[in-house]
Structure 1
């Protein structure tokens, strides 16, 4: 129940107008899959382990580096479609 003396009319929320819609980074960069094996190998070397102790880590890194690279994903078209459809969503612009 509203307090006494206040209006019961519902006031719509006014949002700030936007000249154009745009998503900042639609294409997320995938992390390097060889980062984990390389970090493990460097930590092993930094710990002072002999080359023989880090051999399995070196092999894992070599296998990762020699693996074929996945094909690049296509660029996201979300900003193109937002720019194309935004005038239909926002309605006609006021002439000043």
Structure 2
């Protein structure tokens, strides 16, 4: 019989969900190119595409936390 005092499993790392990254990059690069952060004329199109993307894109669903550590702890009590 194997005795394991503490056994934990690390969850898989997933890539973060980037909803409107391209539109945000376009707006920030427009701001950097014009050096005018308060002006609305030069970057109006980039701002409108970003706002449209943020309004229409649904939020990602929250992923469930893996329960493997809970089950390992339960089984560990029965093994000992």
- TM-score with structure 1 setting the length: 0.49
* Unmatched tracts of structure 2, length 5 or more: none
Whether 1:40 aligns to 2:19 is no
**Structure with the higher helix share, 1 or 2:** 2
Give the 3 Å change call, closer, same or farther, for CA 33–56 of structure 1 in structure 2. same
Q: Distance in 1 between matches of 2:41 and 2:23?
A: 16
8 Å contact from structure 2 (residues 17, 60) kept in 1: no
Q: How many residues align?
A: 74
* Aligned equivalent of 1:66: 55
* Unmatched tracts of structure 1, length 5 or more: 1-16
Bigger radius of gyration: 1
Give the 3 Å change call, closer, same or farther, for CA 55–47 of structure 1 in structure 2. same
Q: CA deviation at 1:79?
A: 1.5
Secondary structure, aligned partner of 2:73: helix
Q: Which structure is richer in relative contact order (CA contacts within 8 A, separation 6 or more)? A: 2
Q: CA deviation at 1:47?
A: 0.6
Give the 3 Å change call, closer, same or farther, for CA 48–18 of structure 1 in structure 2. farther
